[in-house]
Structure 1
Amino acid sequence: MQSLTAILLVDDDPSTNYLNEAALYPLQLTTTYLTAHNGQEALDLLAAQSATPEEPVLVLLDMAMPVLNGMGFLQAFQALPASVRAATIIVVVAVSMSSADLGQLEKYSVAGLVSKPLTPDKLMAILRLHFRAVKQG
């Protein structure tokens, strides 16, 4: 399985971050789990990572957050260095989104959209789509 530098959970709800990390941990995708409670914290954490396209950071991004929401994060993400953008895979994890927001996602480097809550099946679908050598089943 492709190695990940880190998984960054971006959600303002600590319970959601805890449950997501609990679902991810048994998969042993990385030893580094990072949590950001808004888009600005996430940008700061990404800038500090030493990820590469071969060992990327997986970002699981909520859209509704204070300070800097998911759409604001995606806009600001475009200004990060190309090396950071190339080493980051963003998957939006949301309860629901407006059709306007869904249309805007196409403008950004979003690898996918998954509905909350994350489940092992949803996680495996993300992994099969975006990472090499994930076991089928």
Structure 2
Amino acid sequence: MPQLTAILLVDDDPSTNFLNESTLYELRLTDKYLTAGNGEDALRILKEYSEVATPEKPLLVLLDMAMPVMNGMGFLEEFRRLPASVHASTIIVVLAVSMTSADLGRLEEYPVAGTASKPLTKEKLSPVLQLHFSKQNS
């Protein structure tokens, strides 16, 4: 699996971000971990890092849906308005404790690579990453 430019953890709970980073560290996907407490901060960081991320070395965003200021759906709505180059170099995985079927259906409207339930584990994230990178590995 290729190295990632960075991993952006978007969750308003610092403990969740810490646990997710610890889990991801074992996968050796990147040396750069970034955190945002809401969708607004995440968009700012994403715009900054989209200048160095590429489709070959993308930025992975692990997005919580329930946050203050701007929630996950608000982030996805704003993300949709960003240039195609940002979409091509960004992988978004939605993390949630639980989601209704209506919310899952809404996710199909957005450029989301996959979903995983919290708490994040290597076993939950690995299939999403393998599916995404299978194009490069074939």
Same fold (TM over 0.5): yes
1:118 deviation in Å?
A: 0.6
Where 1:91 maps in the other structure, the secondary structure is strand
Residues 55 and 87 in structure 1, CA contact (< 8 A), matched pair in contact too:
yes
Residue of structure 2 equivalent to 1:66: 68
Preserved contact between residue 5 and residue 30 of structure 1 (Cα < 8 Å): yes
Structure 1 position 132, deviation (Å): 4.6
Contact 2:27 2:122 in 1 (8 A): no
Q: Tell me the CA shift for residue 47 of structure 1.
A: 0.2
Identity %: 68
Alignment of 1:91-110 (within 5 A): 91-110=93-112
Q: Deviations over 1:54-89 (max 9, x none)?
A: 110011100000000000000000111211111001
Q: Name the SS for the 1:27 alignment partner.
A: coil
Matched letter for residue 114 of structure 2: G
In 1, are the aligned partners of 2:40 and 2:75 still within 8 Å (CA)?
Answer: yes
Larger helix fraction of residues: 2
SS of equivalent residue, structure 1 residue 31:
coil
Q: Give TM-score scaled by structure 2 length.
A: 0.92
Compute the TM-score of the two structures, normalised by the length of structure 1.
0.92
Task: Report the number of matched residues.
Answer: 134
1:23 matched residue in structure 2: 23
| Residues 35-54 of structure 1 aligned to structure 2 (within 5 Å) | 35-49=35-49, 50-54=52-56
Which ranges of structure 2 fall in alignment gaps of 5 or more residues? Answer: none
CA contact (8 A) 1:2 1:132 kept: no
Q: CA deviation at 1:101?
A: 1.4
Runs of 4+ in structure 1 over 6 Å off:
none
Name the structure 1 match of 2:10: 10
Query: Deviation of residue 109 (structure 1)?
Result: 0.2
